[in-house]
Structure 1
Amino acid sequence: MRHVAALFVREDSIYKTMLGVDAWDAKRDALGFQGGMPVIAHPPCRAWGSLRHFAKPRPGERELALWAVDQARRWGGVLEHPAASTLWPAAGLPEPGRYDTSGGWTLPIHQHWWGHRAEKATRLYIVGVAPRDIPVIPMRLGEASHVIAMDKSPRRGQIGRLRKGMPGWRPEVSKPEREHTPPALAEWLVELARRTVQPA
């Protein structure tokens, strides 16, 4: 079994229960990772996401995502971030359909395909695995039962924001559920990382 490293995971992460996964949470500090194996990187995203102007990241937190990109490029593997992350232009990551000079490419996914209760639109930056060689994606059509955050803006023809009981309203998931990787997605990402060929 090929070992992989899961970087920037929660203290109660599913990755800690998986065989052959070297999990790095905040206490262990992913910056101590010495390499030698493919990575699954979940760097903090609040400084990069669509609500970054409300975020209060710790000093140096924003730079962790740039460091994680370097690890994926060096050792192969995958980096996961929200679909609206500004990390892509800042780090020179390729838009879907393109490759970068490291051979990396971007795969847009929705985490509810793997069982998340919210759609959770996500981008994966993948290095060392060609699109034809990734594990099978379990497509799931239709709306997710929940949302990550309530849409506060009025919709066309609607006065005010969506409220419970109105058509189209869906409940929010909890903060821990927003942050957890669905077990089936974690397994898929581990399998993906194990298929990498280390970049030259």
Structure 2
Amino acid sequence: MDVAVLFARQDSTYKALPDVDVYDIDRDARTFQGGMPIVAHPPCRAWGRLRAFANPRPDEMNLARLAVALVREFGGVLEHPAGSTLWSAQMLPRPGGARDQYGGWTFAAPQMWWGHKAEKATWFYIVGVGPSDMPPVPLVLGEATHVVQSRKRQDYRPHITKAEREHTPPELAAWLVEVARRCRIEKRIAA
């Protein structure tokens, strides 16, 4: 195993990928011991646009904070919805901004580029690999066939299901694992 995936769904597509160590709800990500770069999908409902309507478990916000700390320590990528309040709470760089003190930067892209039915605007916090060393990013033009939600105006398109909101498209999962595989962290020596 050379990449760990933390906070995956039980029926995650990551489980079909080679050399990936997957932590789902049954295999608690808080037990991850390190030693390899990670792909982190911490719960987002306490951090997203609709957080006022969410009912997260008391520990969910700390799972996202833990994911940030683990990405910073071991390298890898954290995925969350665009505009997640986790960015300001953890002082993560905004998309297009300068790198943080860990060398981390944020890439913004719609999951539609990797085959999601909805656009699903997403931010990726990445530590350990720079933009020029990333795997190729697909570009898909046009509109998605579905929406995460809508106000049912004239431009109404079908909604995706809750499961479709939570699943990572297989092409995106493979891409995120490749991003993590390219991550290298230089150990900092205390002065």
Instruction: Output the CA distance in 1 between the equivalents of 2:159 and 2:185.
Output: 39
Matched, 1:133 2:127: no
The 8 Å contact of residues 40 and 78 in structure 1, kept in 2 or not, is answered as yes
The 8 Å contact of residues 96 and 108 in structure 1, kept in 2 or not, is answered as yes
Question: CA-to-partner distance for each residue in 1:170-189, whole Å, 9 max, x for gaps?
Answer: 10011101100000000000
Instruction: Output the CA distance in 2 between the equivalents of 1:149 and 1:38.
Output: 33
**Which residue is 1:182 aligned to?**
169
**Which residue is 1:194 aligned to?**
181
Matched, 1:107 2:94: no
The 8 Å contact of residues 3 and 180 in structure 2, kept in 1 or not, is answered as yes
Instruction: Output the CA distance in 2 between the equivalents of 1:93 and 1:190.
Output: 21
Tell me how far 1:82 sits from its aligned partner. Answer: 0.1
TM-score (normalised: structure 2)? 0.95
Instruction: Give secondary structure in 2 for the equivalent of 1:9.
Output: coil
Tell me how far 1:96 sits from its aligned partner. Answer: 1.9
Tell me how far 1:199 sits from its aligned partner. Answer: 3.8
Tell me how far 1:193 sits from its aligned partner. Answer: 0.4
The 8 Å contact of residues 112 and 118 in structure 1, kept in 2 or not, is answered as yes
1:1-200 correspondence to structure 2 within 5 Å: 3-97=2-96, 98-150=98-150, 152=151, 161-162=152-153, 166=154, 168-200=155-187
In the alignment, structure 1 segments of 5+ residues that lack a partner are 153-160
> Which one has a bigger Cα radius of gyration?
1
The 8 Å contact of residues 8 and 24 in structure 1, kept in 2 or not, is answered as yes
In the alignment, structure 2 segments of 5+ residues that lack a partner are none
TM-score (normalised: structure 1)? 0.91
Structure 1 residue ranges (4+ consecutive) displaced by more than 4 angstroms after TM superposition: none
The 8 Å contact of residues 74 and 199 in structure 1, kept in 2 or not, is answered as no
Alignment: residue pair count: 186
Give, as a single letter, the amino acid of the residue that structure 2 aligns with 1:4. Answer: V
Instruction: Output the CA distance in 1 between the equivalents of 2:186 and 2:161.
Output: 38
Give, as a single letter, the amino acid of the residue that structure 2 aligns with 1:66. Answer: R
Give, as a single letter, the amino acid of the residue that structure 2 aligns with 1:55. Answer: A
**Which residue is 1:155 aligned to?**
none
What root-mean-square deviation, in Å, do the aligned CA atoms of Structure 1 and Structure 2 show? 0.9
Instruction: Output the CA distance in 1 between the equivalents of 2:54 and 2:61.
Output: 11
The 8 Å contact of residues 95 and 123 in structure 2, kept in 1 or not, is answered as no
The 8 Å contact of residues 43 and 81 in structure 1, kept in 2 or not, is answered as yes
